[in-house]
Amino acid sequence: MTHDLDGSHSKNLFRTPLHALHETLGAKFAPFAGFSMPIEYGNGLKREHLHVRAAAGLFDVSHMGQLIIRGPNVVEEIERLVPSDITALKPFRQRYSVLTNEHGGIIDDVMITCLPEQIFIVVNAANVAQDLMHITERLPPNNSIELLEDRALLAIQGPSASTCLAKWEPDIAKLEFMQAGYFQIGGIECLVHRCGYTGCDGFELSLKDDEAPSLASMLLEDDAVEPIGLGARDTLRLEAGLCLAGVDFDADTTPVEAALEWVIARKYRVQPQTTPGFLGAARILEQLNNGAKRRRIGLISAGRAPVRAGTVLLHNGREVGQVTSGSFGPSFGGPIAMGYGESDLASIGIPMTVEIRGRTHELQIAKLPFVPTTYYRP
């Protein structure tokens, strides 16, 4: 990664290995998590969003942190840091989970993959330093953790993603959702995961940063593939009901409050036979058994005005929560939002109101996701 020192976008921002390619493609940049990142490419956020839903979009997500953890009993050591069942992961299988603190709050959400003799973890860009320290401090001395600073990360998402990659390596199409493997794509070795952050079928490709521009250019030669910025990535993930770290949860939010109970291992939830050893287990399991006072909810509006983050939610004139993410959903066809409300009022169909520029707008709680996901599960 290199710093942007010429002042063309903002001083002292990191650049991904694809920065020059983004400029060639006409990207509009903005600061994000310390990086100069492409927000859109000139055709508009809505068009990019809908192209991913219809065909395939290529995203640069090289700002994300990629970690490798090695050592004796590494799987067991990682399981102490998350509420999920990592010891049950088979080789080349991936799991979404959360790093928790001593109070059960979510430090970050992460993707964990079991590889031969090591664990591969992808963490959010803004949390790389924090997560690295958190994990390092809790690993025994005979375990090692490495931040892969020479790796890029690309995501190709949408119904045509599998067909596109299969032109280069047919066996990639055989991967199932949350499965990984090493593949040669156009002569470039990649660690490929079938996963993503859009709700669509898709893949993430980890590769050497100096080979990323060549691979991205090759993939963009496919007529079905277009470059997509972080603007559309955000509306896609919102339609899929996916959380944005630091926005839809923080270190005071538990997995139960964030409606992420499903990340908690079954062995802790159903007739537990194992004493949970992960951080914050007491508070999380107490909420799991007895309920939490607040809960993440989906919201749809009766009007056309998007409801933005920070907007107060009212029920019968009483403040009952707050919006954390909100936008117009291009595929949904109207304004959508997520936020937190009192658990007793978290049922689908319950009405809410908000005040926007002095005017009252009506909303109601809706089921998540707003748009059905299309993950590949044969």
Predicted structure pTM score: 0.95
Domain boundary among 269, 289, 309: 289
Domain boundary among 239, 254, 289: 289
| Residue closest to 180 by CA, chosen among 110, 113, 273 | 113
Residues 1 and 123 in one domain: yes
Strand ranges in 148-219 using DSSP code E only, listed in sequence order: 151-157, 180-185, 188-193, 202-208
Residues 135 and 233 in one domain: yes
Amino acid at 207: L
Only one residue has tokens 């997560």, namely: 131
Domain boundary among 289, 304, 330: 289
Q: CA 80, CA 186: separation in Å to the nearest integer?
A: 39
Residues 279 and 300 in one domain: no
Q: 123: which 2 tokens?
A: 């963490």
User: What pLDDT, on a 0 to 100 scale, did the predictor assign at position 5?
Assistant: 30
Residues 319 and 229 in one domain: no
DSSP lists the bridge partners of residue 109 as: 98
Amino acid at 51: H
Domain extent at residue 44: 1-289
DSSP lists the bridge partners of residue 94 as: 113
CB 152 within 8 A of CB 212: yes
Residues 187 and 245 in one domain: yes
Residues 282 and 327 in one domain: no
Residues in contact with 292: Cβ distance below 8 Å, sequence separation at least 6, in sequence order: 254, 256, 257, 343
Residues 152 and 215 in one domain: yes
Q: What is the DSSP letter of 146?
A: E
Q: What is the pLDDT along the chain (378 residues), one digit of tens a residue?
A: 433 333 344 568 999 999 999 999 999 999 999 999 999 999 899 999 999 999 999 999 999 999 999 999 999 999 999 999 999 999 999 999 999 999 999 999 999 999 999 999 999 999 999 999 999 999 999 999 999 999 999 999 999 999 999 999 999 999 999 999 999 999 999 999 999 999 999 999 999 999 999 999 999 999 999 999 999 999 999 999 999 999 999 999 999 999 999 999 998 887 655 678 899 999 999 999 999 999 999 999 988 889 999 999 999 999 999 999 999 999 999 999 999 999 999 999 999 999 988 899 999 999 999 999 999 999
The CATH number of the domain holding residue 44 is 3.30.1360.120
DSSP lists the bridge partners of residue 112 as: 95, 121
Residues 223 and 251 in one domain: yes
User: What pLDDT, on a 0 to 100 scale, did the predictor assign at position 270?
Assistant: 72
Residues 309 and 281 in one domain: no
CA 155 from chain center: how many Å?
Answer: 12
**How many independent structural domains does the chain possess?**
2
Residues 238 and 371 in one domain: no
Residues 91 and 8 in one domain: yes
The CATH number of the domain holding residue 303 is 2.40.30.110
Q: CA 346, CA 376: separation in Å to the nearest integer?
A: 30
